[in-house]
Amino acid sequence: MRLKSNLLILAASCMMYSCTTPTPQNPFFSEFQTPDGVPPFNEIKLEHYEPAFMQGMDEQNELIRSIVESTEAPTFENVIVALDNSSPMLDRVGGVFFNLTEAETTDDLTALYMKMAPVLSEHDDNILLNQQLFAKIKAVYEQRESLNLNTEQNRLLEKTYKRFVRSGANLPADKQERLREINKQLSTLGISFDKNILNENNSFKLFVEKKEELEGLPEWFKQSAAAEAKAAGEEGKWLFTLHNASRLPFLQYAANRNLREQLYKAYINRGNNDSANNNVKIITDIVSLRLEKGKLLGYDSYSNFVLDNTMAKNAPTVMAFLNELWNYALPKAKAEAAELQQVMDKEGKGEKLEAWDWWYYTEKLRKEKYNLEEEDIKPYFKLENVREGAFAVANKLYGITLTKLEGIPVYHPDVEVFEVKDSDGSQLGIFYVDYFPRTGKSGGAWMSNYREQQGDVRPLVCNVASFTKPIGDTPSLLTIDEVETLFHEFGHALHGLLTKCQYKGTSGTNVARDFVELPSQINEHWATEPEVLKMYAKHYKTGETIPDELIEKILKQKTFNQGFMTTELLAAAILDMNLHNLTDTEGLDVMAYEKEAMDALGLIPEIAPRYRTTYFSHIIGGYAAGYYSYLWANVLDNDAFEAFKENGIFDAKTAHLFRSHVLEKGDSDDPMTLYKNFRGAEPKQEAMLKNRGMK
């Protein structure tokens, strides 16, 4: 569950490279000639991207040259706003390209990404290290007190100035040159890292030939696995993979312990096998280069460089926060492990609980303690109904409506498109959803943009996920985790759709990394509220509304297994911080370091970090020294939802405050200021600890 930036760190002078001659057929060369300016996916071809990137860089260079060569006195409008608006073509091509490299990639697309990444990195550095441009920005920044700017304008000015400083604009020439080299190397290392994980996910195939080895698996899951095997040319067998929609149900239900172990170990060793997809050297190089970059820019560690631009501000603050939570979570996880061992002991096999047993015996314990199994509730969570439930919540809270559009170009048949309108009928944006796993799609779930909001330009927003696929006559039926994921990503989408900012650089989800998860995580709370469940949880066969006794069971087990879930999340967050807190990477063995760090924490062997070092995609894709953000924002979202609970979960005044002070504001003000304007005070941890069963 993560938010993806569009990665528009944009790119190298066209004069330094041979540019492809523009052709009138390239759809990126002008504003899209489509309804609402949506991308014409049906017209876009692989050969369009590189010329559009090259011409887009040339276009931006010309616009920046006009800023630099202007004889007018530097002002907010002719420098800061002009820079914010300097990349129209790059925004168009980047919005499509970077999304498709995650959602529908191919070998050719990945190869092009590898080719373009260093070029884009150099272009970005050419802008951010342009001393004449920085001098103009600095001149505006130094007279900011006398400019009579509003809050959002001040915020954009400060962000722009700080971005240039943090990118090395104040460094001497030799250090700037080294910084350029580091940025180039990092730009391709991250692509290789993600490509290797995708290859690992796609290459592992567990074929089962004997029906008796499927003991415990639900019928729908066996049908799905049979269909996957048939599609892979192995009709009559059952295929299980590392994709969440296959791996998690298998670990949850498969009675065959040896097969559970095989699947689990394949998953946690991704990127750490003796193969072409090994990520050990890549992540070691990334961590080392990031540390060098942080030191070049005046910080003792990469984490302190990153965190200087967040709510937390520095590594000691984050580590104190994580360690405090660890002291609550680990004892609870140990108690849960002891309970699971008791369940195993009752079977009389003399087996000791291992990591690949956790999901299986958790499901047994859930039934024992709450008389509830995932299979009892899945029939009420048809994907389309859950999605409509999320839309209905947004309508009741904010008055918005989402209407499905037909005939809009899409990049895959799975994609659906909706028009989003406000209560007054005005358009808020266009929303794309892409919910099922594919070979060319990265794992997990995320939100991104094809177009950012600014002024009167409304955004084009997407949600991408890998939920359980429909099979035969059975529609996509979601697990409770998938239900919450759908609500989570739609919360990000609301942040992107409802934003009302004047400038691209301050709009939507362009906020501090440890604030961006607030809109997504608070939206999860509505998913399992009884009033909301009765709105959308309908049995896919009978249309029956989910009964009260099932709702009661769902609520009773809300804190069930939270020791495990919090501990694996914390372990990953602390691992991320430890890697980026390093002040010396000489001789670093990342896997030995990971083990040493987890042993020092006292992490029990039955639990692994949610993401291990060699497949920790979050810290490649924008969450370096930032994975703690999910827990940091968890304090915010639980405290914020208390305001709704105090006044009613659909209270109009509270919803208006949250929309007007958080969702609409983007990064137009300091995030804590925005939060306090909504809540009236800084957040407290109590609600989060209570909801995670820690107090």
Task: List the alpha helices (DSSP H) in 280-382.
Answer: 280-296, 302-307, 315-346, 358-370, 374-377
d(Cα 178, Cα 570) in Å, to the nearest integer? 34
Residues in contact with 680: Cβ distance below 8 Å, sequence separation at least 6, in sequence order = none
What is the C-alpha to C-alpha distance for residues 693 and 327, in angstroms, rounded to an integer? 13
CB-CB contact of 154 with 144 (8 Å): yes
Amino acid at 445: A
For residue 612, the number of C-alpha atoms closer than 13 Å in the C-beta half-sphere is 23
Cα 305 from chain centroid?
21
| Residues in contact with 484: Cβ distance below 8 Å, sequence separation at least 6, in sequence order | 524, 527, 528
Q: What is the DSSP string of 174-189?
A: HHHHHHHHHHHHHHHH
Q: How far apart are the first and last CA of the chain?
A: 26
- SS3 helix, strand, coil % of the chain, rounded to 5? 60, 5, 35
Active site residue 219: no
What is the rounded (10 degree) CA torsion for 436, 440, 446, 449? -110
Residues 55 and 19 sit within 8 Å (Cβ to Cβ): yes
Cα distance between residue 404 and residue 319, in whole Å = 45
Give the C-alpha separation, 282 to 288, whole Å.
10
Query: How far apart, in Å, are the Cα atoms of 497 and each of 53, 486, 527, 625?
Result: 26, 16, 20, 27
Q: Which two three-digit tokens encode residue 68?
A: 């630099």
- As beta bridge partners, residue 209 has none
Within 10 angstroms of residue 510's Cβ, the number of other Cβ atoms is 22
Task: Report residue 557 as tokens.
Answer: 């087990």
Cα dihedral value 567, 568, 570, 573, nearest 10: 170
CB crowding 53-92: b at 16 or more within 10 Å, else e: bbbbbbbbbeebeebeeeeeebbbebbbbbbbebbebbbb
**Residue 582: which of 303, 314, 305 has the closest Cα?**
303
Residue 401 tokens, joined: 């409506």
Distance between CA atoms of 303 and 513, rounded to whole angstroms? 13
d(CA 170, CA 292): 17
Spatial distance between the Cα atoms of 305 and 27, rounded to a whole number of angstroms: 39
Q: Determine the Cα–Cα distance for residues 266 and 421; give it in Å rounded to an integer.
A: 45
Dist CA 566 CA 161 (whole Å): 38
**Letter for the amino acid at 621?**
G
Which is catalytic among the residues 104, 122, 489, 606?
489
With beta carbons less than 8 A apart as the criterion, state whether 658 and 150 touch: no
d(CA 692, CA 695): 8
Structure-block tokens of residue 219: 């019928």
Task: Name 214's Cβ contacts closer than 8 Å, sequence gap at least 6.
Answer: 208, 222, 225, 238, 254, 256
Catalytic (active-site) positions: 489
